[in-house]
A and B are shown apart, each in its own frame.
Chain A
Amino acid sequence: MWTLRDKYCIAGIGETAYSKASGRTVLDLASDACLKAANDAGVALEDIDGIVSFNFNDSVPAIAVATGLGVPAAQYAVDYAGGGNAANLIVLAAAAAIEAGLAKNVLCYRAMNGRSGFRLGGGRELSARGVTQYTAPFGWITYPQAMAMWCRRHMLKYGTTSAQLAAVAITCRQNAALNERAMQREPMTLEDYMRSRMIVEPFRMLDICLESDGACAVLVTSAERARDLRNRPVHIMGGAYGGGPNQGDDLFDALRWPDHAHNYSKYIAADVWKSAGVGPGDVDVAEIYDCFTYSVIMQLEGFGFCHEGEGGRYVQGGRISRDGELPINTHGGLLSEAYIHGLNHVLEAVRQLRGSAGARQIAGAEIAFTSAGAMTCGSAMVLRR
C-alpha cells in the first residue's frame, strides 16, 4: 500500500490544444506539454532528472523528450506499456522513484495523435495471435466491442438502463460547455443520446469517448521542494494501482475475470482510501475515467461512492452534476473534453484544487479523486490542496 501520504506533490501542469488533426508530431506534442509543466512549476529543465510516460505503441519514449528538450541528466526516463489504466500509476511511480532516490523532479506525460495517427478505438491486428486467437476470430476486435460486454453484464445483473448511461454522457457534456479546451461543447439532451447511432449494443455513439490528438504533462516533486515553487502545490494523499484475480493476458482479455459487472476499482478501493486517510464522502470533486459511460457507473460502485449495483440510479437526478453531491468530470472527461487517456483528468483535478478552473470551479474544492482504467486493472489517486 502507498505509504507516502502528503509527501509528494504535483507542482506543475501543461497541455497542448486538443484536436482531431494536430498536424504535429507526437514528439512535438509530448515535448510541448512537458515544457509547459516544467515552466508552470518554475523548474528549470536542467533540474529535471526523471520523465515517465505510458503508451500503446502510439507515442514517443521518454528518452526522446529528454533528448529533444535538452534535458541534460534524465536518469529515470521510463515508459510504461499501458492504456488508461496507467494514467495515475505514472504519477505514483514518479513519487516512488523520488522516494527511492532515483530522481528529484519528474515529468509525467501522455502524448498521442489518437485521431489523426494511431486510432486506438479503430481496430487491431487482423492476425489473431496469443490470447487474441480466442477473441478476434469471432469479430470481437475493438475496445468498444470489448467494453460493451462489461456494460451488458452490469445491465443484466443490476438492471442498469440506457437512460442511466445517458446521464453520464449528458453530465460530461454540460461540463464541457464551460471548458474552452473541450472538443465537444454543444448541448446534449436525452433525446440526442437515444437517437445517436447504435455502434455495438448496448453502446450508442454517445456512450463512447472521443478520439484526440494532444498531450498532457504534470511535474511531480517532493512536498518540501514544491513549497518553494511557482504554483500552489497539490498533494498526493493516497493512491493505488492494480486489479483483481485473472487480469488477463493483455488489456483486452478478460475471459477469466470473476464477473464483468464490476471492474478493477472494487479491488483497489480499500488501499486508495486507507492510504489517503479519507473516504469517498470526503471528496469534493471526482474526475473518473470515462472511456465509456458505463465505466463511471462501475467505478462509482467499486470505489464506494455508492453500493454495488446502485451506480445506475446514483448518476441520475443531478447527483453527479456541477452543483450536485459529487461533481464528476468537471472538464468534460474523455467523453467530451478529449481522450488523453486519463491524464487530462489529473490536470483538471489540479486546477480544481488550485482554484483556477474558471467557470468550472467547484467552490471550495479541497479534496479531489482521480481514476484511470475501466476493465481488469487501473489506478486511482486522492489529491488535496
Chain B
Amino acid sequence: MGDYLKPIPVADPDSAPFWAACREHRLLLQKCAACGAVRYPPGPFCPHCRSRSAEWIRSAGRGKVFSWIVVTHPVPKDVYAGDVPYVVALVELDEGVRMASNIVGCAPSEVRGDMRVEILFDDVAPGITLPRFKPAETPSR
C-alpha cells in the first residue's frame, strides 16, 4: 500500500466480501435471507428479524444525495492538502440503504440535495478500491 497515506479500510469477517467485490468493481449489499431486508454497513445480524443468515446482492450503484459537506480545511493537513475542496456525501441507494462516499466528477458547488448519482470505482492503491459517486449520466428511473 506504499505511499497511500489516507485511511485504509481494514476488512473484517463482516466486511471482507464487500471490499473484495469493490476490488472487482462491484457494489455488494447484504440482504437478509429470512426477511429480505437489505442492510448497510454489513453486520452479523439482521436488525429487523435477527436472523444471522444473509446473502450478498449486487447493487445497481444508483441513488441520490441525502446530505453532503464540502471539506475546505484539510485534516490531517499533510494528508488531504492536495484534495480540498472535496465532497463527502450520504448517498441513499435505490436499494434503500444509505452509504457515505465522495461525489466526484462535478464541482463541489454543483452538488445538490436529491441529486441523482451513480457509482464509480476508484482503485486508489494496490488492493484498495473505494466506491465513489458521480452525477448520474444514465436516465434516472
Contact = CB atoms under 8 A, between A and B. Distances in A.
Q: Do A and B come from one complex?
A: yes
Contact of B15 (A122, A133, A138): A133
A134 B41 contact: yes
A281 interface: no
A255 B73 contact: no
**Overall SS of chain A's interface:** mixed
B130 A137 contact: yes
Contacts of A202: 69
Interface string A101-136: 000000000000000000000110111111111111
Categorize the interface residue count of chain A. 35 or more
12 contacts: A127-B8, A128-B7, A133-B12, A133-B15, A137-B6, A138-B132, A139-B102, A141-B7, A198-B73, A199-B73, A256-B98, A260-B66
A152 B68 contact: yes
Interface in B52-86: 66-73, 75-76, 79-80, 83, 85-86
Interface of A: 122-123, 125-142, 145, 148-150, 152-153, 156, 197-202, 246, 249, 255-256, 260
A201 B10 contact: no
B69 A149 contact: yes
Nearest to A125: B7
Interface string B91-115: 0000000111110000010000100
B11 interface: yes
B11 A145 contact: no
Categorize the interface residue count of chain B. 35 or more
Given A140-B88, A255-B40, A255-B98, A145 B12 contact: no
A95 to B, nearest CB: 33
Contact of A141 (B12, B75, B102): B75
Given A128-B9, A138-B88, 17 more contacts: A125-B7, A126-B76, A133-B19, A137-B8, A137-B130, A138-B102, A139-B80, A149-B67, A150-B67, A156-B113, A200-B73, A201-B69, A201-B108, A255-B40, A255-B41, A255-B90, A260-B66
A200 B86 CA distance: 9
Contacts of A198: 72-73
A226 B67 CA distance: 49
Contacts of B8: 126-128, 137
Nearest to B77: A123
Interface of B: 5-12, 15, 19, 40-41, 47, 66-73, 75-76, 79-80, 83, 85-86, 88, 90, 98-102, 108, 113, 128, 130, 132
Contacts of B86: 139
Contact of B101 (A123, A127, A138, A256): A138
A123 B99 contact: no
Q: 9 smallest A-B Cβ distances: which pairs?
A: A136-B7, A201-B70, A133-B9, A153-B67, A128-B7, A156-B113, A148-B69, A199-B73, A140-B88
Given A126-B7, A260-B67, A138 B100 contact: yes
Nearest to A136: B7
Contacts of B80: 139
A141 B80 CA distance: 11
B115 to A, nearest CB: 11
Given A133-B9, A255-B100, A145 B67 contact: no
A127 B41 contact: no
B49 to A, nearest CB: 15
Given A134-B99, A139-B80, A129 B68 contact: no
A131 B130 contact: no
Given A200-B70, A200-B73, A149 B88 contact: yes
Given A135-B100, A139-B6, A156 B71 contact: no
Contacts of B90: 149, 255, 260
Identify which of B9, B101, B102 gathers the most chain A CB atoms within 10 Å of its CB: B9
A137 B73 contact: no
A374 to B, nearest CB: 15
